């Protein structure tokens, strides 16, 4: 027998790792730095690393207590009920749970283009169809309700990525509220805030809770992750925050023990490790500012832990940077063949990436967008 027809599915294309690249090129891994996958340059939360070591001897047990404890800790952090927190195996697991809770066969989801491929992948896994709205380069990738409403046709779920990957733009809460107001009663506005810690904006959880001047809503859900600011990408831990009316659905759509014992214990330690998050965010802001000031090409304003750079020929530039020991993301897979994405690294990593990119651009003599109009980097640190 054969699996069902998967011809309309696409494979997720992850950033390449140091070991993989080093083996392919026959070189020592120590020659490379990786700034391709938006990982935390400072590693995991130190408290989480201790928790993982201490938990290793008890992984023979199912994570019932740890799962409940982490749910409560996250709920306390956002001032929501435990039932509103849906723990998951990474942010992609939370995407799956939201789709399981909403989609009937043949329902549509509306996703950003460019954007995270897994929104559409997950919808198709759950027998939903996928439509796209454009986050336009001509508009400097700015996000507002109108650009989504122009494409909206009654879809069951609309995915908003804020900060947006790979551009770093955000959608203001007032625009999210307008979008929810002007779409149907049975449309869920799902806001992916995987990079939310790096943005100088309040979380859209305010729209669920009805705080900061907003009315409480039952048609907005938020996705968050421990992968970025907390540095736990390898343990796969994320969650959704849903309206109070949705709480009971989690027990019917989640997998048994939706997050592992190691992940839950790491998350419990990390959620209170404010020092690690503050340090990570400060490094990110400094790195973004440095790249915007020193890269000899157009760098878009970003509120994520990465920047998008116009380089003319992304594949050629990314390949040459890799040859020179700096792994960055060719954004051709996002539909942006003229752009690369560079993760914010440590001071040394950022400076090396900038120097390498500028050397490649000079050697290739590629046409890039002008740097005129790039804001003062000090201002970027203050308001990003």
> pLDDT tens, 329-345?
999 989 999 999 999 99
**Averaged pLDDT for residues 79-87:** 96
With left for phi above 0 and alpha for psi between -120 and 50, is residue 113 left, alpha or beta? beta
The yes-or-no verdict on residue 41 having pLDDT over 50 is yes
Between the CA of residue 4 and those of 7, 95, 125, 127, what are the distances in Å?
9, 22, 11, 12
**Ranges 12-16, 290-294, 304-308: which has the least confidence:** 12-16
Helices (H), 31-105: 46-55, 64-78, 90-102
Determine contact, residues 99/76, Cβ cutoff 8 Å. no
CATH number of 18-44+275-383: 3.90.1150.10
Between 378 and 32, residue with greater pLDDT: 32
Q: How far apart are CA 289 and CA 384, in angstroms?
A: 10
> What's the confidence (pLDDT) of residue 381?
34
Determine contact, residues 198/303, Cβ cutoff 8 Å. yes
pTM for this model (two decimals) = 0.92
Q: Sorting pLDDT into bands at 50, 70 and 90, what band is 377?
A: very low
Q: What angle do CA 131, 136, 138 make, to 5 degrees?
A: 150
Largest CA distance in the chain: 61
The yes-or-no verdict on residue 262 having pLDDT over 80 is yes
The share of the chain scoring above pLDDT 70, in percent, equals: 95
pLDDT tens digits, one per residue of 110-125: 999 999 999 999 999 9
> What's the confidence (pLDDT) of residue 373?
38
Q: How far apart are CA 92 and CA 352, in angstroms?
A: 32
> What's the confidence (pLDDT) of residue 221?
98
> What's the confidence (pLDDT) of residue 122?
95
Average pLDDT along the chain: 92
Q: How far apart are CA 292 and CA 313, in angstroms?
A: 19
The yes-or-no verdict on residue 260 having pLDDT over 80 is yes
The share of the chain scoring above pLDDT 90, in percent, equals: 81
> What's the confidence (pLDDT) of residue 379?
37
163: preceding bond cis by omega (within 30 degrees): yes
Query: φ, ψ for residue 50 (rounded to 5)?
Result: -65, -45
114: preceding bond cis by omega (within 30 degrees): yes
Q: Where are the domains of the chain?
A: 18-44+275-383, 46-270
Determine contact, residues 48/267, Cβ cutoff 8 Å. yes
**Averaged pLDDT for residues 215-234:** 96
> What's the confidence (pLDDT) of residue 215?
85
CATH number of 46-270: 3.40.640.10
**Averaged pLDDT for residues 279-288:** 98
> What's the confidence (pLDDT) of residue 366?
62
CB atoms < 10 A from the CB of 2, how many?
5
The yes-or-no verdict on residue 376 having pLDDT over 80 is no
> What's the confidence (pLDDT) of residue 371?
45
The yes-or-no verdict on residue 145 having pLDDT over 60 is yes
């Amino acid at each position: 027998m054969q699996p069902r027809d998967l011809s309309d599915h696409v494979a997720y294309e992850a950033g390449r790792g140091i070991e993989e690249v080093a083996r392919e090129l026959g070189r020592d891994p120590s020659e490379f730095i990786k700034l391709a996958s938006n990982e935390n340059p400072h590693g995991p939360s130190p408290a989480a690393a201790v928790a993982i070591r201490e938990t290793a001897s008890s992984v023979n047990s199912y994570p019932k207590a740890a799962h409940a404890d982490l749910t409560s800790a996250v709920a306390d952090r956002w001032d929501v009920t435990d039932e509103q927190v849906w723990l998951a195996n990474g942010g992609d697991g939370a995407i799956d749970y939201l789709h399981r809770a909403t989609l009937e066969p043949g329902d549509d989801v509306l996703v950003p283009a460019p954007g995270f491929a897994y929104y559409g992948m997950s919808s198709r896994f759950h027998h939903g169809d996928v439509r796209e709205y454009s986050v336009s380069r001509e508009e400097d990738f700015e996000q507002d309700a109108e650009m989504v409403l122009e494409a909206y046709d009654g879809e069951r779920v609309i995915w908003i990525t804020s900060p947006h990957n790979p551009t770093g733009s955000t959608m203001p809460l007032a625009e999210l509220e307008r979008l929810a107001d002007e779409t149907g009663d049975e449309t869920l506005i799902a806001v992916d805030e995987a990079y939310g810690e790096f943005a100088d904006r309040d979380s859209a959880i305010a729209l669920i809770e009805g705080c900061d001047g907003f009315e409480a809503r039952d048609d907005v859900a938020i996705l968050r992750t421990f992968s970025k600011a907390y540095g736990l990408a390898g343990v796969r831990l994320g969650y959704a925050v849903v309206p109070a009316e949705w709480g009971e659905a989690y027990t019917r759509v989640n997998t048994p023990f939706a997050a592992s014992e190691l992940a839950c214990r790491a998350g419990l330690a990390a959620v209170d490790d404010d020092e690690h998050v503050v340090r990570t965010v400060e490094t990110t802001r400094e790195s973004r500012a440095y790249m915007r000031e020193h890269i000899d090409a157009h760098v878009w304003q970003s509120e994520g832990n990465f920047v998008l750079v116009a380089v003319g020929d992304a594949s050629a530039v990314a390949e040459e940077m890799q040859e020179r020991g700096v792994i960055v993301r060719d954004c051709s897979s996002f539909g942006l063949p003229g752009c690369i994405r560079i993760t914010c690294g440590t001071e040394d990593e950022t400076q090396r990436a900038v120097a390498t990119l500028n050397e490649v651009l000079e050697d290739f003599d590629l046409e890039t967008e002008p740097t005129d109009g790039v804001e003062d980097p000090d201002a970027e640190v203050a308001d990003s």
